[in-house]
Structure 1
Amino acid sequence: MSQDRVAKAADVSTSVLQRLESGIHTRLKVRDLRAVCEVLEMPQETTDAMVGLLKQAGEQSWWHEYDSLIPANFDVYVGLETAARRLITYQPALVPGLLQIPEYARALIRAVKPDESAADHERRLELRMRRQAKLSRRYEPLQLEVVLHEAALHCNVGDPVVMGAQLRHLAEIGKMPNVSVRVLPFKAGAPVGDPVGQFAILEFDDGGREHVWPPVVYLETFIGCMYLEKDGDVRRYFRVLDSLRGAALDESVSRSLLRHVAKEFSA
C-alpha cells in the first residue's frame, strides 16, 4: 500500500505517516497509531508494543524537573546535548557551561537573573552541574572539543579567586581523553575574516557505525537561539571550525597559557 492509501484509510495526514516511517519525531495520538496498525493488519501484541513505545516516548526526561526555570526552547538543546556523541564548541567570551566550576556558574546565573530568589539560582546551578555528568560517565562519555578565545581567560567572572580556580579547572579537565580544550590566542587575529559568535556543533551516531541524525549547529544569542540543520549551513560552520582549529594553540600550549593566566589572577 502506498503512503497515501494508508494515510487515507487510517484518517491521518500523509506528512505524519512520512515522518513516522522515516523515524522523525512527530506528534502522534494513540488512537491514530492504533488506526495505522489496524490498516497495516498488525497483530494485537505488536500494536500494543507500538502504543507502549509511544507512551514511553512521552515520558519526561530529567531536565523537565526544571521546567519553571528553563526557557521553552532551551530544553530542546539539553535534549540534543544529552543524545549527542560529540560536541564541538567555540566560545569567544565565556567558559562553556559544561566546563564551568560552580562558583563561576553561580556568578553568571546571578548576573543574568538578578531578580530571582537564591533558591532559584541554586536550582539553575544544579541543572548546569548535572549536565556535566555526561563528561565523566563510564559508558560512552560525551566527546567534547572546546576552542576558547583568549579573551575568555581574561573576562573576570565572579572575582580573581574564582577565575584562577576556573582556569586551573580548564587546564586539568583538558587532560581527560574525551575532552579537548584549546585556546585561540589574541595574536591569531581574525582567522575567519568575519566576526564569529559562539556556536556548538552536535554530532549524533552509533559509535561511528551508523549516522542516526545529521549534525546540528546551535547558535545562542542574547534574545534566543537557533538550530541549523541544512547541509549547506552545517558545512559552512565546519569550515569556520577548521579555520579556528588551524589558528588555535595545541592542547599542551593551551594548558600552559591557562595556568599562566590563573597565576596572574592569584597574584
Structure 2
Amino acid sequence: MGLALRMVRRMEAWFERMGAEYAYMATDKSNEASLRLFTVRCGYSKFRTPSLLVHPVHAHRRRVPRRAAVFRLGARDAERLYDGRFAHVEFFPADIGAVLGNQLSIGTFLAVIDDDGRWRHGEWRGAERFLASPPASWALASLWDCGGVFRLELRGASRLRRAAAAATRALDRAARWMRVPSVPDFFRPFSGWFVYGLGGDGPDAAVAAEALFATFVNMARGRAAAVAVEVAACDPLRRRIPHWRRLSCTEDLWCMKRLGRVGESDGWDWARSPPGLSIFVDPREV
C-alpha cells in the first residue's frame, strides 16, 4: 500500500470516528494520478463539476445593472433567508449562523430586479416580509475575506509581463473613465475575496447575480486583488457572472464516497445522485 493510499485510508477512518457519513475531494480533471487514486483504488464516484469564476479588481468601478437594487442584510435576516430558501441546496451547512457570524464574513447582500421602482426607493423591511411576498427576480450572496487566512502570489512571470501589467494599472488609475481592463499586481502576495451562498429565483435572477458580483468587485477596490465564486455546472446564474477566462477554472472535479461498511447503507447514496442546479460552497473550506 502506497503512502498516498495509506493517508486517504487514515483520513477516512478519522472522518468516520467524527461521525461523517460521506467524504469528498476536489481536484482538476486533468490530474490523472489523483483521479486513479480516488476513483479506482478508493472507490470514490465522480460527483460534481463546478467552475471557479474569477474577476480582477480594477481602479475603475464596474457598472451595476440599473434594473437592480442592492441591499446589505443583517446577520439575522441573512440567516433567515438562507434557512428559508437554501436549506435544500447541496452542501448547505447546518451551522449557517456560525458561517455568517464569522469575523472573515464581510456581509450578505440581496439584489432585486426593480423595474417599477418599488424596491429602489424603499427600505429593507426584513426577511419575513420578503419571504411572504418576494419580488419576481432576485439573488442573494455573501462575501468572505480569504486574505484573513492566506495570501496568493503569482511567480515566474517575465519582467516584460510584469511591466505590461503595471502599465495597465497606471493607465487605469490615471484615466478611470477609459475603463481599462487592468491587471492587478498578482506578482506580490495579494488578498482575494470569495463569494459564497450565491442563489436566486425568477426569470431575471441572473441579472441580479450580475449586480451582486459587480457590487462586490467595486467594494474590493483597495482591499483585494480579485473576487471569485464557485458555481455548479448547471447553475442558471452562471451565464451573467462577470469573470476572466484566463483567471478562472472550469475543470474542477469533485468526487465523493459514502463511508461505512457494506450493508449499512439505507439504499440511497448521495455520491451517486444526479446534480442539482446549485451548490453551497462553505467558505471555511476554501
The TM-score bracket by the shorter chain reads: under 0.3
* TM-score under structure 1 length normalisation: 0.24
Larger-gyration structure (1/2): 1
Give the strand-richer structure, 1 or 2: 2
Higher relative contact order (CA 8 A, sep 6+): 2
* TM-score under structure 2 length normalisation: 0.23
